[in-house]
């Protein structure tokens, strides 16, 4: 397989590993190092390298993090509803979003009741980290931003590059990975700051759970828009049948 083809296969196979990991099977040090090296070489705006990574593999510290409260947000449930498909046919038609079947019934409403969505199973980070032998907590420093980039949009793009580099590397090594955006929530961030001794102004950007799945992931329909659905030639909305480069379009 040619290198470019191999990269395409890794990109296509990359997925969120939501099943529990084997806590007795650690990620080998050399492979964890490869994932961190991938983060090291991620492109960042103005080469500011606006991130730090806290590696957590101590069982006692992992258990402390598991006890952090992570209540379900009404805003998440409400906005999530707008992106759901309630059948595979609907998802195939939309080509974006996710299936409603992935969430508890109480979350499948445009007007959530706080009492009903307060699912005890999802009230603590323990449900999210699900026996992972190692967590990576990626934090960022908004002072380390590119010039004239108020709002630090370029800094957040850089964090996305760090995430993608780590994810593709983990996938290529056969290591399960899941992004934990909930760790950036205000309440969770405060507890993680205390547990990990994060100094101001560092803030949690996202968490990463790594490990080896105890079971095969559930088969789920994966959809993407076709290239023709998001590509515009020489102007938005172009309906040209062929680009100047010779690539066919609609």
Distance, in Å, from the CA atom of 143 to the CA atom of 156, rounded to the nearest integer, reads 12
Q: 51 and 39 in contact (C-beta within 8 Å)?
A: yes
Give, in order, the Cα–Cα distances in Å from 105 to each of 73, 86, 101, 113, 240: 15, 12, 8, 12, 45
User: Residue 235: enclosing H or E segment and its boundaries?
Assistant: none
The alpha carbon dihedral of 202, 203, 208, 209 has a sign of: positive
- The pair of three-digit structure tokens given for residue 100, joined into one six-digit string: 């409603």
What phi-psi label fits residue 114: left (phi over 0), alpha (psi between -120 and 50 degrees) or beta?
alpha
Give CATH superfamily name and number for 3-70+133-219.
NADH Oxidase (3.40.109.10)
The domain spans of the chain are 3-70+133-219, 72-123, 222-250
| pLDDT score of 48 | 95
Least confident among 67-76, 156-165, 221-230: 67-76
Label residue 2 by pLDDT band (50, 70, 90): low
| pLDDT score of 187 | 86
* Cis amide bond preceding 204, omega within 30: no
Q: Between 153 and 123, name the one with better pLDDT.
A: 153
For 128-147, write each residue's pLDDT tens digit: 898 999 999 999 998 999 99
* Position 241 pLDDT exceeds 70: no
User: Residue 208: enclosing H or E segment and its boundaries?
Assistant: strand 203-211
Strands 98-99 and 84-85: parallel
| pLDDT score of 242 | 60
pLDDT (mean) for 166-175: 97
Mean predicted lDDT score pLDDT of the chain: 91
Least confident among 36-40, 46-50, 71-75, 232-236: 71-75
pLDDT (mean) for 146-170: 95
Distance, in Å, from the CA atom of 14 to the CA atom of 167, rounded to the nearest integer, reads 7
Distance, in Å, from the CA atom of 146 to the CA atom of 156, rounded to the nearest integer, reads 11
**3-class state of residue 14 by DSSP:** coil
| pLDDT score of 244 | 60
For 182, list phi and psi in degrees, rounded to 5.
Answer: -60, -20
For 77-134, write each residue's pLDDT tens digit: 999 999 999 999 999 999 999 999 999 898 999 998 888 887 666 688 998 898 999 9
Strand order in the sheet with 51-56: 51-56, 134-140, 203-211, 176-180
Locate all alpha helices (DSSP H) within 130-241, ordered by sequence: 153-172, 186-196, 227-230
Q: Look-up: residue for tokens 């806590």?
A: 23
- Within 10 angstroms of residue 45's Cβ, the number of other Cβ atoms is 20
| pLDDT score of 115 | 82
| pLDDT score of 219 | 85
For 21, list phi and psi in degrees, rounded to 5.
Answer: -100, 160
* Position 20 pLDDT exceeds 60: yes
């Amino acid at each position: 397989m040619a290198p470019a083809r191999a990269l395409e296969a890794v990109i296509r196979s990359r997925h969120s590993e939501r099943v529990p990991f084997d806590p007795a099977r650690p990620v080998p040090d050399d492979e964890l190092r490869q994932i961190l090296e991938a983060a090291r070489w991620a492109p960042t705006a103005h080469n500011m390298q606006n991130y730090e990574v806290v590696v957590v593999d101590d069982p006692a510290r992992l258990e402390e993090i598991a006890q952090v409260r992570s209540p379900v947000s009404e805003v998440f449930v409400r906005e999530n509803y707008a992106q759901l498909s309630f059948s595979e046919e609907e998802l195939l038609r939309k080509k974006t979003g996710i299936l409603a079947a992935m969430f508890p019934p109480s979350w499948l409403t445009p007007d959530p009741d706080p009492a009903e969505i307060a699912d005890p199973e999802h009230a603590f980070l323990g449900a999210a980290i699900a026996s992972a032998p190692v967590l990576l907590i990626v934090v960022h420093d908004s002072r380390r931003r590119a010039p004239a980039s108020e709002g630090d949009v370029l800094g957040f793009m850089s964090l996305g590059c760090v995430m993608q580099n780590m994810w593709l590397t983990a996938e290529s090594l056969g290591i399960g990975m899941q992004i934990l955006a909930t760790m950036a929530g205000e309440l969770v961030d405060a507890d993680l700051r205390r547990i990990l001794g994060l100094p101001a102004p560092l803030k949690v950007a996202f968490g990463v759970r790594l490990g080896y799945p105890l079971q095969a992931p559930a088969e789920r329909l994966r959809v993407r828009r076709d290239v023709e659905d998001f590509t515009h030639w020489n102007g938005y909305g172009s309906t040209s049948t062929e680009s100047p480069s010779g690539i066919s379009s609609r």
